[in-house]
Structure 1
Amino acid sequence: MKTTLIIATILASLIGILSVISGSMVLLGLRSVDYRVLDWLVVYNVSLGIISIMVAYQIGKQHRKSKLMIISILLLHLLVLGYLYFFNESVAVESIKAMAFRVGIWGAIILLTLIKIPKTTHNNIKI
């Protein structure tokens, strides 16, 4: 597997696992925060975290629909970020930063899956 796909798989796995763990801890009351928590946003983050783990598996297996799933997750995160930033006055700055971070990670993941690096031999001749 190409190095770029390995990196994309690792990034998608990590962001998914971290979202599930962090969100689940808040939902179960195991972690309290000193800012206002939007319950629907935490549920969204956990749900997309689970989906992210499944998409990471698809990226690793080079499934033909993995790019479509990556773009879908990126667009969903962009829509939620836009809503939080422009339309929700009660959202914590931390929530906006976390969603912007997710958008950045998924933007990097789609770029990594689209990169075409030609193979070279020892003489720097393209194969």
Structure 2
Amino acid sequence: MGFACASLLSEYPYSGNTLPRFRQRIIGAVAGSFAFYLLYLIIPESMHSLLGPLGGLCLGFCTDYRYKTAMNCFGALMLGAGIYGIQGAVLLRIFDTLLGGTFGLIFATLFHRLVAVRFLSRSKAAELH
């Protein structure tokens, strides 16, 4: 949840609207989790340990945020599958991403409305006088 929130907020000062990044984060987490789940079921068990490095390799070729999010799921789900089982890890990844992203979106919105707008409007008014 913390990584989802931090990743969402990492672009905040440069972009006042975090909603597009929130959507991309959710789409990437769902798509990456389902891709991992399908590959996990299809490939032999002896090759499951290669899914994490495969995700890391593919992550290096990604330029779009949603694809990076999808590939980032592979390493996390490889570790999580050993602890929670494949279904538990996938569900937990999607739920935690949704919860962390929602918190980040709410935080950015409230922060922008309550703090940033007030300070920005004061500093701009001071510049004009």
Q: State the TM-score, normalizing by the size of structure 1.
A: 0.38
Q: State the TM-score, normalizing by the size of structure 2.
A: 0.38
Q: Which has the higher contact order (CA 8 A, sep 6+)?
A: 2
